Structure 1
Amino acid sequence: KSGASNYVPLNRCVWSDCNVSNIIPTIQNYSIDCCKLEVPLNYAKPNETKIIISMARLKPFSQQNATNNTLFILTGGPGESGWTFLEYASVLFPPTYGITIILPDHRGIGLSTSLSCDDYGSQNITIDCISYLTSKWGIEGLNQFSVTAAAHDLSVQIRYYQSIVSGRVSVYSLSYGTMWLDRFLQIYPNLVQSAIMDSVINPQLFSSSRYDLWTSSVASKFLGYCQFQSECNQYFPVDEPPQIMLSKILIELSENNQRCVNNYFSQYHLTDEKLRSLFRNMMSSSTSYYDRTVIPAVIFRLNRCNQEDVTVLKFFIETTIGTKGNTDTNSSTIPSLFGSAVLGYNIIQSELWLGKDEDAVNEATILAWHAS
């Protein structure tokens, strides 16, 4: 625990305007305010470098059903702030429940101390970025932007909140947040009254190096359902279902001889890697769940490529990739309030990359999983 369980911030948490109204969506029937606490960068060295951890509070406007119960919500990533859950919080937990919602920002993101590539919040990870990070934080400092340190931060926030508000405190988590919560509960098993893990990540079995492999398995099963629906399978030969046709298209793209793309869409610079990345994002997105249902149609139209297909594909490409064909998902385009690629990669590469009892994964294996 490194003394973390006894750490008490010197500053009080003053609730005030979050100053993000120009970025966040409007949330009906809730007021929003924020507060910040100063905590050690390294809990083993509590008197040295300090950082800021922030949390946002959503309180129902109506006090008709008000309770003293509070729900902390831990979001996914790693590398996503509490703000990414803002628009869903009021849907899952309507204000009529009378619950106060707390959205903590993981250290390194949101209104907490930022882990970024320069003094202006850039998330464009380059050699210069890595030099900047090691110069500013040092290797030991970067190691403190971890799951365990975030668990200690959460304990500080919860204990502070318990000191000013009576009532039950519970924690709801999803995706990476379940790993964050699991670490917290292992260190502080008695601090909250209840905890919920949604979309659980198993800390023993999870390995982010296998993410492409797992996505491929799910995508293959998803495309396989086409054969069970006449609305879909009527467009594909028996010996060339969507997953086989897609493999052919990806090979054609890699060899720069995909007829439809070369004849009509060269301005979008669509490569096999870009199409694979686009479909992967559509398959794995939890915020645009139904977008994936058009994937078989896109595969079919790229293969057939008549004039109607060209019109439809042009609309698809421009609404997903953009008019210039930019599929770069580099998070330098993500507002730093919501996401941090630096924080995400720091935790992934340090703590989540390898499987259980695994020392390394070679590059050839990673590339094969990716190409799958």
Structure 2
Amino acid sequence: MSPLRRSPFLLVLVLVGVLAGCTTVAGTPTAAPAPTPDALNRYYSQTLSWGPCAPFATSSDAARSFGDPRFDCAKLEVPLDYAKPDGKTAQIAVLRARSTGTPQQRIGSLLVNPGGPGAPGTEAAAGLVDKVGPGITNRFDLVGFDPRGVGASRPSLDCLTDAEQDRYRAQVFADPSPAGVAAAEAHSKQYADLCAQRVGTDVLANVGTRDVVKDMDILRQVLGDEKVTYYGYSYGTSIGSTYAEAFPSRVRAMVLDGAVDPTQDTITGTVDQSAGFQQAFDAYGAWCTTQANCPLGRDPKAATATFQKLVQPLIDRPVRTGDPTRTLGFQDAITGVSQALYLRALWPALSVGISRLAGGDGSLLLTLADLYYSRGADGKYSNMLEAFQAISCMDNTRVTAPADVAKLVDGQYAAAPFTDTGRGPVDAKDPCAYWPVPPTMAPHTPKADGIPPVVVVSVTGDPATPYQAGVDLAKDLNGRLLKVDGTQHTAGYQGTKCVDDKLTAYLTDGTLPAEGASCVLSGS
């Protein structure tokens, strides 16, 4: 199956060009922040050296946008291992778009993270600056940071060469026999071993969200903010909720959009996510079958079966693409379709891609899969997926017992039949089962006593972070839920005025959406 993930909002930005209660957030009295441990004083008291952002670009898209004179960039120094603050250090890449308002209008910094895990926040901030509107840019410096190991931050989570990435994603493990399972597990172990050799276990042990939020608190202080104002998309909601737990007295306001539920274990979360993608595929199929020339026919109930007939032959017979050196196989076809399910605006392009596949041309679906894998036209990859793997292994429970592996893999197949190989599930352990260092987080109910009310945005048809996860997170954090009707991954500052106006009012003035508030995605 395709490694369906909590995809970053950034990928949507790249592809489509964008992508009444009240609380006095600014003045709510809270307990004073806990004193900074002496061993970390040198990090909390550092001064950032701001300069041009061009050297921070790690992709062609970033290279085009980072030359904008509105942006400046810097590196934040943090301990690699917080248990050894005098030991090795890491450098966190930071991009800032300065507030365009008067000093009297400025509230502080708005930190943003686009998710993944593995998506660079520097690129997200650069992509958002023209989307959030003057209600935000007049009041805040918009600040994005690449979490440790990600993007331009160093050391980098770089496990595979570009050629190895091409080969790795092209392999399909569709043989459910013991020999097939053994081959798939050898593949997973090889990946984990390469990461350990090339990145180092000391780095891998300290890239989880537990450590990212400590970096974020240093950044808050260095930026001059007494309390953090934060917007997290997708996995970025995990950063937000974990920060709130670790530093509850240092939260001013927080929007969590496309929630990751911290109470779920790996099996439950993965199966629920697979069901979310199937729900999105079904919604796409229902729409497609009403359109002229739909490649899935006219019966929405048959859409999945029709799609299976088109993609399952790719296991043995990949089809040509526009690049004579590359073909489209089963895995990339599923990944390309999954990428297009993140945003309803991509459905027409998805139909074209599936139509071309039916004619023996896999070019468009391969382009969508390349976007998912962050592969540029020059054949070079960012480290987004490698970082995704490494951070996920540190944040989640490992699935190693044969019965649990079967429960996970079989559950994915049952939940998302559009990804089915037609040959039965391959009950093989994934790379996290072979990871050389133990996880640093575990499923739990978040507890963040004393934080001001947060806003959780949840889309009813979100494929990657299902709606119920947002409902549950809002309840657990005693926050306010903003329900958004539609089929899309995350909702804020993506063209739906109803959503954006409510979020801007909250971030600037502390005005919460009304109890039971809801919006409908534009274009739904």
> Of residues 157, 172, 175 in structure 2, which corresponds to 1:116?
157
Hey, what does 1:272 align to over in structure 2?
330
Counterparts of 1:27 and 1:138 in 2: how far apart (Å)?
30
Number of aligned residues: 345
User: Is contact 1:25–1:87 with CA below 8 Å preserved after alignment?
Assistant: no
Q: Give the deviation of 1:209 after TM superposition.
A: 3.8
Name the amino acid aligned to 2:85.
P
Q: Give the deviation of 1:290 after TM superposition.
A: 1.8
Instruction: Confirm whether residue 13 of structure 1 aligns to residue 48 of structure 2.
Output: yes
Hey, what does 2:201 align to over in structure 1?
139
Q: Deviations over 1:73-128 (max 9, x none)?
A: 12211011112312123311437624211112201123321323379999948988
Q: Give the deviation of 1:27 after TM superposition.
A: 7.4
In structure 2, the residue corresponding to 1:38 is in which secondary structure? strand
* Greater shift in the superposed pair: 85-94 or 21-30: 21-30
Hey, what does 2:309 align to over in structure 1?
248
Distance 1:238 1:131, change over 3 A: closer
Q: Deviations over 1:268-295 (max 9, x none)?
A: 63433332222122113x5xx5222343
> Of residues 224, 229, 232 in structure 2, which corresponds to 1:170?
229
* Greater shift in the superposed pair: 34-43 or 95-104: 95-104
Hey, what does 2:257 align to over in structure 1?
198
Hey, what does 1:90 align to over in structure 2?
130
> Of residues 155, 165, 170 in structure 1, which corresponds to 2:217?
155
Instruction: Confirm whether residue 100 of structure 1 aligns to residue 100 of structure 2.
Output: no
Instruction: Confirm whether residue 351 of structure 1 aligns to residue 408 of structure 2.
Output: no
Counterparts of 1:62 and 1:206 in 2: how far apart (Å)?
44
Q: Deviations over 1:137-191 (max 9, x none)?
A: 64354121010100000011101222xx67x741111111110111000000111
Q: Deviations over 1:242-263 (max 9, x none)?
A: 323212223444465x9xx69x
Name the amino acid aligned to 2:42.
P
Provide the alpha-carbon RMSD of the alignment. Answer: 4.4
Counterparts of 2:315 and 2:113 in 1: how far apart (Å)?
40
Counterparts of 1:353 and 1:279 in 2: how far apart (Å)?
28
Q: Give the deviation of 1:203 after TM superposition.
A: 1.5
Name the amino acid aligned to 2:350.
I
Name the amino acid aligned to 2:41.
V
Q: Give the deviation of 1:68 after TM superposition.
A: 4.0
Distance 1:232 1:57, change over 3 A: same
Structure 1 residues without counterparts, runs of 5 or longer: 304-309
Counterparts of 2:50 and 2:74 in 1: how far apart (Å)?
5
- Of all paired residues, the percent bearing the same amino acid is 15
Larger radius of gyration: 1
Equivalent positions of 1:170-319 (< 5 A) are 170-205=229-264, 207=266, 209-210=270-271, 211-227=273-289, 229=290, 231=292, 236=297, 238=299, 241-254=302-315, 256=317, 269-284=327-342, 286=343, 289-296=344-351, 299=354, 314=361, 317-319=362-364
Q: Give the deviation of 1:4 after TM superposition.
A: 10
* Greater shift in the superposed pair: 77-86 or 66-75: 66-75
Q: Give the deviation of 1:57 after TM superposition.
A: 1.1
Distance 1:240 1:83, change over 3 A: same
* Greater shift in the superposed pair: 245-254 or 116-125: 116-125
Distance 1:123 1:110, change over 3 A: farther
Counterparts of 1:130 and 1:332 in 2: how far apart (Å)?
21
User: Is contact 2:335–2:369 with CA below 8 Å preserved after alignment?
Assistant: no
Hey, what does 2:413 align to over in structure 1?
368
Counterparts of 1:174 and 1:154 in 2: how far apart (Å)?
16
TM-score (norm 2): 0.54
Name the amino acid aligned to 1:187.
A
Name the amino acid aligned to 2:339.
N
TM-score (norm 1): 0.74
Distance 1:201 1:194, change over 3 A: same
Hey, what does 1:321 align to over in structure 2?
366
User: Is contact 1:39–1:153 with CA below 8 Å preserved after alignment?
Assistant: yes
User: Is contact 1:73–1:173 with CA below 8 Å preserved after alignment?
Assistant: yes
RCO higher in structure (CA 8 A, sep ≥6): 2
Name the amino acid aligned to 2:307.
L
Name the amino acid aligned to 1:79.
G
Distance 1:201 1:300, change over 3 A: same
Hey, what does 1:340 align to over in structure 2?
384
In structure 1, the residue corresponding to 2:405 is in which secondary structure? coil
User: Is contact 2:50–2:72 with CA below 8 Å preserved after alignment?
Assistant: yes
* Greater shift in the superposed pair: 234-243 or 77-86: 234-243
In structure 2, the residue corresponding to 1:25 is in which secondary structure? helix
User: Is contact 2:333–2:366 with CA below 8 Å preserved after alignment?
Assistant: no
* Greater shift in the superposed pair: 229-238 or 53-62: 229-238
Name the amino acid aligned to 2:390.
N
Counterparts of 1:269 and 1:114 in 2: how far apart (Å)?
33
Q: Give the deviation of 1:199 after TM superposition.
A: 1.4
User: Is contact 1:16–1:33 with CA below 8 Å preserved after alignment?
Assistant: yes
Distance 1:29 1:330, change over 3 A: closer
Q: Deviations over 1:292-348 (max 9, x none)?
A: 234345546655xxxxxx5xx75xx444536xx996965565877x65322210111
Distance 1:81 1:251, change over 3 A: closer
Name the amino acid aligned to 1:34.
C
Equivalent positions of 1:36-51 (< 5 A) are 36-51=75-90
Name the amino acid aligned to 2:214.
H
In structure 2, the residue corresponding to 1:194 is in which secondary structure? strand
User: Is contact 1:268–1:326 with CA below 8 Å preserved after alignment?
Assistant: no
